[in-house]
Every structure is written in C-alpha cells, then in structure tokens.
Amino acid sequence: MDSFGTDTRFSGSIPELYDSYLVPMIFEPYAADLAKRVALRRPSRVLEIAAGTGAVTRAMAHALPADADLVATDLSQAMLDRAMAIGTPRPVMWQQADASLLPFDDASFDVVVCQFGVMFFPDKVRAFSEARRVLRPGGALLFNVWDRIEENEFANTVTAALARLFPEDPPLFMVRTPHGYFDLDVISRNLTDAGFSAAPRFETIAARSRAASARVAATAYCQGTPVRNEIEARGASMDNVTLASATAITERFGTGPIDGKIQAHVVVVQR
C-alpha cells in the first residue's frame, strides 16, 4: 500500500467529518493559541499553508489586525471547499497550493503559519525552504506538530484498538504521520537544512480533548481522518471498526462525555 498516497487523501466524507468532529475535539484550542501568536506580531500579510478546513484561518480572521491580508492554502481542494463553505468573518484569499512549490513571490509575507500540517509534507526541508523564500527579512514561520502518540490519549487508544482488530497489518496512520514528527532535534536540523540560520523556539503545550461520547471520538478518528482509507483498504466494516474503537475508549475513559490528554509542540523560527 502507498502510505503517502493514503495519508494525504482527504476526500469523500472525510473533510466534513474532520471538521465536524476533530476540529472542536482537538484542533480549536491550538488554533486559538497559534492565531494569538501570529496576531501579536502585527503582520500586514499572512500565508497559511496546509489550512485544512480552516480552523486556524477562522481564528486568525478574528485575531489579526483589520488591515492584514490573509491567504490560506491547502493541497486538498476538498478540504478548502469545506473551509470556504463555512466561511470567515473577513475576506480570505483561498488558493489550492503545494507547500513544497508555493506560487508566491519571494519575500512577500510577514508570517507563514501552519497548524498540524508539516507532518504530511513528503519533503519537509523543501517545504520549509519554500516558507523561508516567501518570508520577508525579519518575518517568521510559526507551526505546531503533535507530540508522540503516547501523549495523545484518544489517538493512542484508537490505534491500539485497531492493532487488535488487524494484528497482522495494523493501520498505523496516526503513529506514522500525525504523531510521527515530534523529535525537536530532527525539526531543528530540517529547519537549518532549509536555510534558517536562527535557532527555532519550541514550546510544548498540553491540553484536554473533549467529546460528547466515546462513539463521537471513535467516529472522528476512524472516519474523519485517512485512517478511514486504511480501514477501507482492508475490506472491513466501517461500522464494526468504529464500534470496536468506541468500546476501547469507553473502557478507558468511561461512558457519557469524556476527556483525555492531548499534547503538541509549537515552533517559531525567524527569517
């Protein structure tokens, strides 16, 4: 199986389920944090890469100065379509774009921002190099990445449940990609190799992930992420797999509304 192909395929019902379930469950707290950090820099022009369904875009639309220009891009047109359908309280330029080949002029943005997207870039050094290229001198790249999966309890519980269901060929998307780029030394080297001479600043932030039920959390991970592609490739019943994952979450976190730990690293590097 082409893991890169399945890991980056956000299509079909994934964008809607991703936005409806995962965004409020795990992305919104970090989106607010990242938007605040961007706004404190008082930029005049901001580029968001790997914008997904627009969690950070919407947060920045509220937080940025009124005269700041905001450009939001993603490789997946389906994800951008969902973001545009939700809308923002201010104009945003939406554009499909590959982070490794940005269609923008050199030194044309004050800030480049990315929420939980760099883990998906097949060539991270090249993507960082492109971010540096479009930054003005003194500008900054701000992004966050999930910490190791053991620090993210719902994702870890679902991944373990899937390993029990498919012991000979477990779906490992969550380990491989969203939670596969947490080593700060590796990130530092990648940024240096991309041409950033300033040392990056790191901050590790723990938060709580909340869901109305175990079934909601299981649906979010099994059906609202590319884990769905792995389950379908194995010919399994999506309902049965989701139910098994929900059962595992219930056994660990109980019935009714649940909450679990999530943890991520925030990275800031100056041009």
Q: What is the pLDDT of residues 4-61, one digit of tens each?
A: 456 666 767 788 888 899 999 999 999 999 999 999 999 999 999 999 999 999 999 9
Output the pLDDT for position 222. Answer: 96
Output the pLDDT for position 12. Answer: 77
C-alpha closest to that of 126 among 181, 195, 194, 189:
194
A 10 A CB-CB count for 106 gives 9
Share of the chain above pLDDT 70, in %: 96
Which residue range forms the structural domain that includes residue 210? 3-270
Output the pLDDT for position 62. Answer: 95
109 pLDDT tier (thresholds 50, 70, 90): very high
Report how far residue 30's alpha carbon sits from residue 23's, in angstroms, rounded to the nearest whole number: 10
C-alpha closest to that of 17 among 226, 247, 240, 256:
226
How does the average pLDDT of the chain come out, rounded?
A: 94
**Total domain count for the chain?**
1
CATH number at residue 186: 3.40.50.150
Report how far residue 117's alpha carbon sits from residue 146's, in angstroms, rounded to the nearest whole number: 10
Output the pLDDT for position 1. Answer: 43
259 DSSP β-pair partners: 210
User: Which two three-digit tokens encode residue 250?
Assistant: 């219930």
Distance (Å) of CA 53 to CA 23, 157, 184: 9, 25, 27
pTM of the model: 0.94
Q: What is the pLDDT of residues 37-46, one digit of tens each?
A: 999 999 999 9
